[in-house]
Amino acid sequence: MLFNSPEFLFLFLPAACLIFYFARRVSPTAQVVSIIGLSLFFYGYWRIEYLPVLLFSLATNGLFAFLMGRARSEGVRKALLVLGVATALSVLGFYKYTHFLLENLSLLFGFDYTGQAGEIPIGLSFYTFTAIAFLTDIHTRRIQGYTWPEYGATITYFPHLVAGPILFHHDTIPQLRMPGGIRFTPERVMLFLFFFSVGLLKKTGLADNIAHFSDPIFTQVAGGGIPDPGQAWRAALCYSMQLYFDFSGYSDMAIGLGCLLGIRIPANFYSPYRSRNIAEFWQRWHISLGYFLRTYLYIPLGGNRKGASRTLVNLFIVFFLCGLWHGAGWTFVVWGVMHGVAMVVQRVFSSRVRLPDTRLVAACSILVTFVFAVFAWVVFRAESFHSAWVIMQAMVGVSGSRLHNLPDQHVELYLGLLLLVVWLMPNTLQVMRRFDPAILLGRRNEYPFARLVPAALREGRAFAYAAGTLSALALVTGTVFMFVNGQVRYLYFDF
């Protein structure tokens, strides 16, 4: 069941709200349990055969956490943590990397392998990482008390279940313990309508439509075609915008659903194309993944505590694994290596050179970071290294022919408008920041929304009218596109 589907918007969501808020009249615990039931139904509706995988993850990780909490020996606790993490990763590895591993082993050792990659259970990576973070927090005693409903509700919480963000029990459990349960309020409805409507419009009206300009180019290149420089840049920029608004749209819709149910989730997207360097990019793009990798991988590896050289090695390892997490393919690995190398270069450069803090330098830094991200997205999107190489060569003018039969409906103007939006417009979290709609993991540079918009439009009745009008227009327009374009999967469903 997709967020951008009629059955979710008009059937499941209203029924879920009624059940969730009615359960509070029974008890706060019943309200938490209702989250688990609703989320399991939501997940099973998509693919009932994958429900046992989620239940197995719930049961095994819960068992290891329970045993860890009872163990008195630190050695036993550590052994249980290692065994629990290994079990969780083995399930992830079986479904996501078995075909990739066997395919490469067959090439290396020369045996015959003709298997096909199977479909990955939706959301497997996200609820697996949520479970690993939970086990680690139990081991470090960051979480010292929890109930089984609180544990299960955080893992299965349907706003995050299929495409993130990664949830962390130390943030979620306190919200589930609100005295008297979570109450229905007009503010929750207002925040839901704003975030969900804007997110729906981003997905159905922007991301799905601009895909019509990039997909044919990547498809023709995969079939042997060679684009000219303009077509290559069109493919790269259109895909960069498609992925941006697809991920941003889902993140907004998930935040809106979290606001409606009174359980805030982490902000997962914060205007990443405004980043001045690649380190800042990863503080703004897939924020929960970056937080997870930093907290549960980079710091345990030693972080920056073991000297400059070890720090650079740790950064590279993290982004190598980040690329592999995104997909079982060498293009994803190389994409991760590109970001790892960029992080190393940026760390070395920033330690030796201090750039002047001027607007011109900031603008140039943003442009350089954006261009790097666009080139990296070509590798991320392409069917093969050859296809990526053909497009990147054309982008720098080394080679080029021309593709035919491509849609050309003023795409340059469309791209220009989208770039103005991502670089100049305040994001949804900035517009609604005084309501604290999401959990902010880490620190990000605050975009000066207050300088662009007069105070009268940022608060009071004028703000309410403006937000309500925008929500209504976005909901109507996004719903129209939803029916016109059909149910298009979110790109991050595949990761």
User: From the candidates 169, 326, 386, 404, which is the catalytic residue?
Assistant: 326
What phi and psi, each to the nearest 5 degrees, are found at residue 285? -105, 130
Helix or strand (DSSP H, E) at 421:
helix 411-424
* Residues contacting residue 129 through CB under 8 Å, at least 6 positions apart: 166, 289, 292
**Would you say 261 and 20 are in contact if contact means Cβ atoms under 8 Å apart?**
yes
Task: Supply the DSSP string of 76-129, one letter for each residue.
Answer: HHHHHHHHHHHHHHHHHHHHHHHHHHHHHHHHHH-------PPPPPTTHHHHHH
**Would you say 254 and 439 are in contact if contact means Cβ atoms under 8 Å apart?**
no
Q: Which two tokens stand for residue 179?
A: 């005295």
**Would you say 335 and 380 are in contact if contact means Cβ atoms under 8 Å apart?**
yes
Q: Please give the Cα distance from 465 to 469 (Å, whole number).
A: 6
Strand, coil or helix: 447 = coil
CA within 13 Å, CB half, 175 = 22
The answer to whether 326 is a known catalytic residue is: yes
Active-site residues: which are they? 326
